[in-house]
Amino acid sequence: MTLKAHFLQAPAPRLLAELQRQLLPEVRLTTGPELPTPADFEILIATQVTRQQVEASPNLRVLINPYTGVSEETLALLADYPHIAVHNSHHPAASTAEMALALLLAAARRLVPADRNLRKGDWTLRDQADLTLVLEGKTLLVLGYGQIGQRVARACQALGMKVVALRLNVNAPVPPDITVELHPASDLRRVLPHAHVLLVALPLTTETRGLIGATELALLPRGAVLVNVGRGAIVDEEALYTALRDGALGAAGIDVWYTYPPNAEARAHTFPSKYPFQDLDNVVLSPHRGGMTVDSQQQGMATIAAMLNAAARGEPLPNRVDVAAGY
């Protein structure tokens, strides 16, 4: 029996060919911003959808988000269609975790200004030991102890750090090879004063928007490092800039932002915030590229193929999203 699926934002030809190669013969895949005629697909693969696209096919029963984290707009829309199951693809987890580690190490050791200065023959940062943070013996606080957070925790534990994590369900299974002190989400302000490094790897929901504001940042030890690979709006924009500018927050590594280019042309001249983060030496700026690697893209196609093949066999799909909770 044929399973019909439509990939709304078609991947690059090379990646699409890789996806097609891995699909079972029973899976019929169409692609592109124009929906097929007739629109009778059962699975829609898309990052953003409109009501018209959701309602186009009377057979639609599954939405697969080809990345990690379903947008607030899509979640709000899908709340009106409880018969449509929403599933995430978590393939960028390893790549994003590695980006988080890169941002952490670069921010903690001020690698960006050191590199910039030494290219001009300036060695003066060598003697400014107060600008660096040694991670061994320090505490990492993970907000979002999922596949990304657990990978970062494992690496930081290997560096000699203590790992603390907040979780809605503290009784959920955890990897046995990580020694972690789990707390409920309500303990946030109680544990922040002990966190030398704060990792934000949460999805953006109504509960997490603005979760880290001026009050929360002020609770961190002076000189702490913040790394955000979740969503920009989880950390208050003005509060983050002010804390970094005034030195209350030691440093930050940021891969997710507040202002994004509206189109391809604007990518060459769009600052990531209304505040001049680019003028600060204690922040490492990355243009939301944590999951953008060749390996991650290939893994993404393999993940989507596995999900479509499972659906064709009548098997349950992994990574179902609780639309009401937002993740």
Tokens 């209350």 belong to: 248
Please tell me whether residues 136 and 19 are part of one structural domain.
Answer: no
Q: pLDDT higher for 11 or 59? A: 59
Residue 59, CA distances (Å) to 5, 81, 120, 146, 278 in order: 10, 12, 62, 32, 48
In the structure, what pLDDT confidence band is assigned to residue 206 with cuts at 50, 70 and 90? Answer: confident
Among 97-101, 131-135, 224-228, 237-241, the least confident range: 131-135
* Structural domain span for residue 105: 93-285
Contacts of 14 (CB under 8 A, 6+ apart): none
The total of structural domains in the chain comes to 2
Q: What is the pTM of this model?
A: 0.87
Please tell me whether residues 238 and 298 are part of one structural domain.
Answer: no
Tokens 């700026």 belong to: 285
- Asked whether the beta carbons of 141 and 195 are under 8 A apart, the reply is yes
Last residue of a domain, one of 250, 266, 285: 285
The total number of residues shown for the chain amounts to: 327
Q: Is residue 325 part of a domain?
A: no
Q: pLDDT higher for 92 or 46? A: 46
Please tell me whether residues 203 and 225 are part of one structural domain.
Answer: yes
Beta strand spans in the chain (E): 3-7, 27-31, 43-45, 62-65, 85-88, 139-143, 162-167, 180-184, 197-200, 225-228, 251-254, 283-285
Q: Is the pLDDT of residue 61 over 90?
A: yes
Please tell me whether residues 113 and 132 are part of one structural domain.
Answer: yes
Q: Is residue 318 part of a domain?
A: no
Residue 45: CATH number of its domain = 3.40.50.720
